[in-house]
Amino acid sequence: MVFRSYLAPIHEYSDLAFRLLCQRYGAEAACVPLISSVAIAMDESRISLVDAHPDERNLGVQVFGNDAKVIGKAAHIIAKRLPFVSWLNLNCGCPSSRTMTDGSGSAMLANPALISKAVAEMKKSEKPVSVKMRIWGKREGTLAICRKIEEAGADFIIIHGRTPNQGYSGKTDWELIKSIKEALTIPVIGNGDVASLPEGRGRVESGHCDSFMVGRAAMRNPMLFSNKSPESARERFAILREYVSLCEAYGEITGSLRLRDLKLKAMNLLCGMQGAAALRARVGKAASAGEILALEDSAGGQE
């Protein structure tokens, strides 16, 4: 069930088309991000919130909430309505105040008993279950939570090696992740600051984790999973066109929402290249997807 390379569930970014794009370039597993357990459990028709597709492989769905029974009900509905989904994930790692206000996301780490109950309820769906979490205090506190998750029947744990208070600042504590892996019997997927395929593989080979998960680096380079990177502006725009093509083929959202999303994808793909600041400014002012893609002509010679 555990694969080598995972695309992280990135809220408002790793949509169906982006996941398919990364899987096309070698991501072995991916996950639909941040689905409200309350929304699904209270109204089964809202399964449409889960933008999953049978063409995806080794797909997980991440749910969040603060009520174990509701979380379990949502997991059951997802498993029943989307049988092609391979695994389920409980979000105990989102550090945003919006998610944590009601005790969801990283706030759940303060209540290990609730996490254990939620995992046990999710297991009733008969799908493999994982928990995505962050460091909680120091090693002892984090390990105590992980052991409860393991005892509750989770199939694997994904650890982002930062605390909730760190957000995405500072560095990932890979030595702590390694110590947790060594103490558990279920697989540990390491997450945080993996910038390339060789780096991720290196973390596995050095015993820091059983598998690795990539988030922000994949936003700038979806080809990362095949150990490639675009070398010119034209190659970057080629990836953007590939993304647009997938959006069109799979009927992704259109109109202003798609334009906003496409601008975000373009901003990330163009980051770091020569003349990026000026090009990104033009992306920001574009009034249509066509205008964004047409910028390739003026950027063609830039590396």
Residues marked active site are found at: 94
- From residue 103, alpha-carbon distances to 94, 97, 135 in Å are 11, 10, 17
Whole-angstrom distance, CA of residue 267 vs CA of residue 197 = 22
Q: Which residue, 256, 212, 265, 191, is CA-closest to 18?
A: 265
Whole-angstrom distance, CA of residue 89 vs CA of residue 50 = 13
Strands (E), the chain: 5-7, 30-36, 59-64, 87-92, 129-134, 156-160, 188-191, 211-214
Whole-angstrom distance, CA of residue 255 vs CA of residue 21 = 21
Residue 280 CB contacts under 8 Å (≥ 6 apart), including other chains: 266, 267, 270, 271
Q: Which residue, 32, 20, 12, is CA-closest to 74?
A: 32
